[in-house]
Protein backbone atom coordinates (compact mmCIF):
# COMPACT_ATOMS: atom_id res chain seq x y z
CA UNK A 1 0.00 0.00 0.00
CA UNK A 2 1.34 3.43 -1.00
CA UNK A 3 0.99 6.02 1.78
CA UNK A 4 2.86 8.88 0.12
CA UNK A 5 1.06 12.19 -0.19
CA UNK A 6 0.84 13.94 -3.53
CA UNK A 7 2.70 17.19 -4.15
CA UNK A 8 1.44 20.19 -2.25
CA UNK A 9 0.53 23.28 -4.21
CA UNK A 10 0.17 23.49 -7.97
CA UNK A 11 1.77 21.19 -10.46
CA UNK A 12 3.51 22.75 -13.43
CA UNK A 13 0.64 21.69 -15.70
CA UNK A 14 -1.95 23.31 -13.40
CA UNK A 15 0.09 26.51 -13.19
CA UNK A 16 0.41 26.75 -16.97
CA UNK A 17 -3.27 25.96 -17.45
CA UNK A 18 -4.38 28.64 -14.99
CA UNK A 19 -1.96 31.20 -16.39
CA UNK A 20 -3.26 30.56 -19.91
CA UNK A 21 -6.86 30.89 -18.73
CA UNK A 22 -6.06 34.15 -16.94
CA UNK A 23 -4.35 35.52 -20.05
CA UNK A 24 -7.29 34.54 -22.23
CA UNK A 25 -9.76 36.21 -19.88
CA UNK A 26 -7.62 39.36 -19.95
CA UNK A 27 -7.68 39.42 -23.75
CA UNK A 28 -11.42 38.71 -23.87
CA UNK A 29 -12.07 41.27 -21.15
CA UNK A 30 -10.29 43.93 -23.18
CA UNK A 31 -12.47 43.13 -26.23
CA UNK A 32 -14.73 46.06 -25.39
CA UNK A 33 -11.97 48.51 -26.21
CA UNK A 34 -11.08 46.60 -29.35
CA UNK A 35 -14.66 46.94 -30.57
CA UNK A 36 -14.44 50.67 -30.08
CA UNK A 37 -11.08 50.85 -31.85
CA UNK A 38 -12.38 48.78 -34.75
CA UNK A 39 -15.36 51.09 -35.13
CA UNK A 40 -13.23 54.23 -34.93
CA UNK A 41 -10.76 52.88 -37.45
CA UNK A 42 -13.50 52.29 -40.00
CA UNK A 43 -13.95 54.99 -42.58
CA UNK A 44 -17.47 56.36 -42.18
CA UNK A 45 -19.46 58.40 -44.66
CA UNK A 46 -22.84 59.08 -43.00
CA UNK A 47 -22.85 57.89 -39.38
CA UNK A 48 -21.17 59.57 -36.43
CA UNK A 49 -18.24 57.59 -35.06
CA UNK A 50 -19.86 57.21 -31.63
CA UNK A 51 -23.06 55.97 -33.26
CA UNK A 52 -21.10 53.40 -35.24
CA UNK A 53 -19.13 52.28 -32.17
CA UNK A 54 -22.41 51.84 -30.29
CA UNK A 55 -23.85 49.88 -33.22
CA UNK A 56 -20.83 47.53 -33.19
CA UNK A 57 -21.22 46.97 -29.45
CA UNK A 58 -24.93 46.37 -29.91
CA UNK A 59 -24.19 43.79 -32.61
CA UNK A 60 -21.72 42.03 -30.34
CA UNK A 61 -24.27 41.99 -27.52
CA UNK A 62 -27.05 40.60 -29.73
CA UNK A 63 -24.90 37.80 -31.18
CA UNK A 64 -22.01 37.33 -28.73
CA UNK A 65 -19.18 35.09 -29.90
CA UNK A 66 -15.88 35.32 -28.05
CA UNK A 67 -14.09 33.53 -30.89
CA UNK A 68 -15.17 36.05 -33.55
CA UNK A 69 -13.09 39.21 -33.89
CA UNK A 70 -14.57 42.67 -33.82
CA UNK A 71 -13.70 43.26 -37.48
CA UNK A 72 -16.49 40.85 -38.47
CA UNK A 73 -19.05 42.78 -36.45
CA UNK A 74 -17.80 46.00 -38.03
CA UNK A 75 -18.29 44.49 -41.50
CA UNK A 76 -21.75 43.27 -40.52
CA UNK A 77 -23.01 46.73 -39.56
CA UNK A 78 -21.02 48.76 -42.11
CA UNK A 79 -23.99 48.53 -44.48
CA UNK A 80 -25.86 51.02 -42.27
CA UNK A 81 -23.32 53.74 -43.04
CA UNK A 82 -25.36 55.26 -45.85
CA UNK A 83 -27.20 58.56 -46.21
CA UNK A 84 -30.52 56.68 -46.46
CA UNK A 85 -30.01 54.56 -43.33
CA UNK A 86 -28.24 57.15 -41.17
CA UNK A 87 -31.35 58.98 -39.85
CA UNK A 88 -32.98 55.71 -38.75
CA UNK A 89 -29.75 54.43 -37.16
CA UNK A 90 -28.99 57.72 -35.40
CA UNK A 91 -32.56 57.82 -34.00
CA UNK A 92 -32.36 54.16 -32.92
CA UNK A 93 -29.03 54.64 -31.17
CA UNK A 94 -30.39 57.79 -29.50
CA UNK A 95 -33.31 55.68 -28.17
CA UNK A 96 -30.82 53.02 -27.02
CA UNK A 97 -28.77 55.65 -25.19
CA UNK A 98 -31.96 57.05 -23.65
CA UNK A 99 -32.87 53.57 -22.39
CA UNK A 100 -29.38 53.28 -20.87
CA UNK A 101 -29.77 56.66 -19.16
CA UNK A 102 -33.12 55.45 -17.80
CA UNK A 103 -31.20 52.67 -16.05
CA UNK A 104 -28.63 55.09 -14.62
CA UNK A 105 -25.82 54.84 -17.19
CA UNK A 106 -24.26 57.64 -19.22
CA UNK A 107 -25.14 55.87 -22.50
CA UNK A 108 -25.22 52.37 -23.95
CA UNK A 109 -21.57 52.29 -24.96
CA UNK A 110 -20.41 53.36 -21.50
CA UNK A 111 -22.47 50.62 -19.82
CA UNK A 112 -19.62 48.43 -18.62
CA UNK A 113 -21.30 45.14 -17.82
CA UNK A 114 -22.66 42.94 -20.58
CA UNK A 115 -25.56 41.88 -18.36
CA UNK A 116 -26.68 45.51 -18.04
CA UNK A 117 -26.43 46.07 -21.80
CA UNK A 118 -28.45 42.90 -22.47
CA UNK A 119 -31.14 44.12 -20.06
CA UNK A 120 -31.30 47.39 -21.98
CA UNK A 121 -31.63 45.47 -25.25
CA UNK A 122 -34.38 43.29 -23.79
CA UNK A 123 -36.36 46.43 -23.01
CA UNK A 124 -36.04 47.44 -26.69
CA UNK A 125 -36.37 44.04 -28.37
CA UNK A 126 -39.89 44.68 -29.64
CA UNK A 127 -38.93 47.96 -31.30
CA UNK A 128 -38.63 48.16 -35.07
CA UNK A 129 -35.05 49.40 -34.73
CA UNK A 130 -33.93 46.38 -32.68
CA UNK A 131 -35.69 43.94 -34.99
CA UNK A 132 -34.09 45.54 -38.06
CA UNK A 133 -30.57 45.32 -36.59
CA UNK A 134 -31.07 41.77 -35.27
CA UNK A 135 -32.51 40.38 -38.50
CA UNK A 136 -29.87 41.99 -40.72
CA UNK A 137 -27.08 40.74 -38.46
CA UNK A 138 -28.05 37.15 -39.22
CA UNK A 139 -26.91 37.53 -42.81
CA UNK A 140 -24.41 40.33 -42.25
CA UNK A 141 -22.43 38.37 -39.68
CA UNK A 142 -22.94 34.72 -40.57
CA UNK A 143 -22.60 35.08 -44.35
CA UNK A 144 -18.96 36.09 -44.04
CA UNK A 145 -16.87 33.20 -45.33
CA UNK A 146 -14.04 34.03 -42.94
CA UNK A 147 -16.38 33.32 -39.98
CA UNK A 148 -17.53 29.90 -41.19
CA UNK A 149 -14.52 27.88 -39.95
CA UNK A 150 -15.11 29.15 -36.41
CA UNK A 151 -18.40 27.25 -36.42
CA UNK A 152 -17.12 24.24 -38.36
CA UNK A 153 -19.08 25.11 -41.51
CA UNK A 154 -17.20 24.22 -44.66
CA UNK A 155 -19.44 26.12 -47.03
CA UNK A 156 -21.73 24.85 -49.74
CA UNK A 157 -21.14 21.26 -50.78
CA UNK A 158 -22.84 20.91 -54.15
CA UNK A 159 -19.75 21.86 -56.14
CA UNK A 160 -17.72 19.33 -54.14
CA UNK A 161 -20.07 16.37 -54.59
CA UNK A 162 -22.34 16.91 -51.60
CA UNK A 163 -22.00 16.00 -47.95
CA UNK A 164 -22.71 12.26 -48.14
CA UNK A 165 -19.16 11.37 -49.15
CA UNK A 166 -17.48 14.26 -47.36
CA UNK A 167 -18.30 13.54 -43.71
CA UNK A 168 -21.86 14.77 -43.33
CA UNK A 169 -21.83 13.55 -39.73
CA UNK A 170 -18.42 14.80 -38.62
CA UNK A 171 -19.71 17.80 -36.67
CA UNK A 172 -18.27 17.29 -33.20
CA UNK A 173 -19.75 20.33 -31.48
CA UNK A 174 -23.41 19.23 -31.53
Nearest to 62 by CA among 105, 113, 97, 114: 114
Per-residue pLDDT reduced to its tens digit, 13-62: 665 556 555 444 444 433 333 344 444 467 888 999 999 999 999 999 99
Residue 87, pLDDT > 60, answer: yes
Contact 39, 77 (CB under 8 A): no
Residue 91, pLDDT > 70, answer: yes
More confident residue, 168 or 26: 168
More confident residue, 11 or 98: 98
Per-residue pLDDT reduced to its tens digit, 108-155: 999 989 999 999 999 999 999 999 999 999 999 999 999 988 888 877
Burial of 77 (0-12, 13-18, 19+ CB in 10 A): buried
Amino acid sequence: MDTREGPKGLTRRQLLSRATAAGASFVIGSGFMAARDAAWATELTALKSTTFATLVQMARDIYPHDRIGDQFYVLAVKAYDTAEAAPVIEAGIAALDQAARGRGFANYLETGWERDRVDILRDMERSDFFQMIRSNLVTGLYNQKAVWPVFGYEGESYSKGGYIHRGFDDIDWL
